[in-house]
Structure 1
């Protein structure tokens, strides 16, 4: 799962002439990441659909946070072992479970199915477009890491305030911020794999899955708000 060999051992001393050609190690990490990501997205979607179809209520904010961060810690701890893959599926399945009741609520709205499909289509389009750019660009996007980390932390705290204080305008603003931040994370993580900064496909898959999940839910909230005002 984890290859620590140098991925760009023949790079030129001139940093402005960085090649975007992916070597065999980076290509293997990228392939494994996308295969595992597709499996996790499918599993999460099936879990969300089952939860929505059965009308199972959401776990609540406290259980959601405890489950997410607990499984996140576990995946990171066992990322170099086969157990890490199992825990990753547990995490993505749990997130699918939390998503089911949210989708059910939007589907019950007028034009709810259209809203969900627009959010899905927007998420897929953004992911494909940004991933393609990150794969071919000669720019080093890893410098975005610090900014994204701070931005996500601030947005996360603001989202908690929006939930507990019940301020719709704040929640909508946070959703808009998350759309940009998660888009940046997709660029950052994909470019990081290409440049050899991330060699563990379990962690790469986790980062991309969380980015896609948050991107989808943020677009869903924004589109649902617009739909309510129509």
Structure 2
């Protein structure tokens, strides 16, 4: 009986710990999305900034490259950072991402952006809940989808030069499917990290988890915007 009570207590403690970590993941992700949205909005309403980005492509690409540096730095060196440093890099990345998103805010109508965001939030929420509660091991699916990203990236590069509408449609469909699946797998993976306590403190784990799900959400949003976005020029 004592062993049963001890096991029950340990399970409850583990569940509470995992739940706490996941809450921090979602809170950090939500805050990062607010930072991104505010940065994008500011760049579009402050006179001159949006037009400067649109007419000086080197600035846009410079910011985009800096974003990649921050993401790879955070992902590769998370265990060597303090929790506060990891959080700072994550929020700086989300700020820079908002700067690049300014061109999207300029290209599409606010209504279509909001509609696409709502659809993305619904799909993301459903898949993240599934990934958290399912007993099915999603590792094989996740590994396949991760490899599929490489093929997706190659197809997108090819279409930059080929500009084929059929290929663009296929890429968009594939992108939605890939990031819908990755949302579920990444959620399960983060939960498993929290259960095992591998590699990072709770604070750093929450940050890398938030970054992972943030990227899933942003990419899903961008691919869905290809279907639901309405041009502001129409």
- Same fold at TM > 0.5: yes
**Pair 1:84-2:81 in alignment:** no
Contact map agreement 2:116 2:229 (CA 8 A) in 1: no
Q: Structure 1 pair 207/157, CA: closer, same or farther in 2 (3 Å)?
A: same
Show the 5 A alignment for 1:11-160. 23-54=15-46, 56=50, 57-58=53-54, 59=57, 62-63=61-62, 65-80=64-79, 81=82, 82-107=84-109, 113-160=110-157
How many residue pairs get aligned? The number is 205
Gaps of 5+ in 2: 1-6, 198-204
SS at match of 1:196: helix
CA distance in 1 between counterparts of 2:21 and 2:160 reads: 37
Uncovered stretches (5+) of structure 1, i.e. residues with no partner: 1-9, 11-18, 108-112
The Cα shift of 1:65 comes to 4.5
Structure 1, residues 133-192: CA drift from partner, whole Å, max 9, x if none? 222222122232210111111111212222344334323321221111111111011111
Give the TM-score taking structure 1 as reference length.
Answer: 0.78
Please name the residue that 1:184 is paired with.
181
How big is each residue's C-alpha offset from its partner over 1:115-134, in whole Å with a ceiling of 9 and x where there is no partner? 21221111011011112222
Which structure has the larger Rg?
A: 2
Identify, as 1 or 2, the structure richer in helix: 2
